[in-house]
Amino acid sequence: MNHELDIFDLQAQLCQSLSNAVRLRIIHALKETPKSVNEISAEVGISQPSVSRHLAVLRSTGLLTAHRKAQEVIYEITNPKVVEVCEMMRCILAEREAQHRDLLNRMQS
């Protein structure tokens, strides 16, 4: 039973690290190719220091890795399943939104 609690704790930590819109935007920005802090900052429209703080959270939970390339640190997603999970959440939200719209349309008819 204790092993299950450990897994649930790890799952909660992972979900916590994804529970921020900026971090989700960073994951989305990195889904195709690894990028530097400056590239991520420009793409998501958030200051470099703020992006760096969010990158640290994503790295601490193992979602991202980093390696140095000349003067820059390049970040990439550790496991492509992270992107799949994020895409799945977006699909669920889109389906929920469609259901709400359908319900509203039926109520207005």
pLDDT tens column, 52-102: 999 999 999 999 999 999 999 999 999 999 999 999 999 999 999 989 888
CATH number (domain holding residue 66): 1.10.10.10
User: What does the pLDDT read at residue 104?
Assistant: 84
- Among 25, 9, 5, 22, which residue's Cα sits nearest to residue 61? 9
d(C-alpha 95, C-alpha 77), whole Å: 26
For residue 45, tell me if it sits in a domain.
yes
For residue 100, tell me if it sits in a domain.
no
Residue 69 vs residue 1, higher pLDDT: 69
Percent of the chain beyond pLDDT 90?
Answer: 77
Residue 46's domain spans which residues? 2-78
Neighbours of 20 (CB within 10 A): 13
Query: Model's pTM, two decimal places?
Result: 0.84
Number of domains in the chain: 1
User: What does the pLDDT read at residue 101?
Assistant: 87
Per-residue confidence at 1, pLDDT binned at 50, 70, 90?
low
For residue 93, tell me if it sits in a domain.
no
For residue 62, tell me if it sits in a domain.
yes
For residue 47, tell me if it sits in a domain.
yes
For residue 22, tell me if it sits in a domain.
yes
Structure tokens at 102: 């359908």
For residue 99, tell me if it sits in a domain.
no
H-helix or E-strand spanning residue 55: helix 48-60
Structure tokens at 93: 């939200």
pLDDT digits (tens, 9 = 90+) for 8-51: 898 899 999 999 999 999 999 999 999 999 999 999 999 999 99
For residue 91, tell me if it sits in a domain.
no
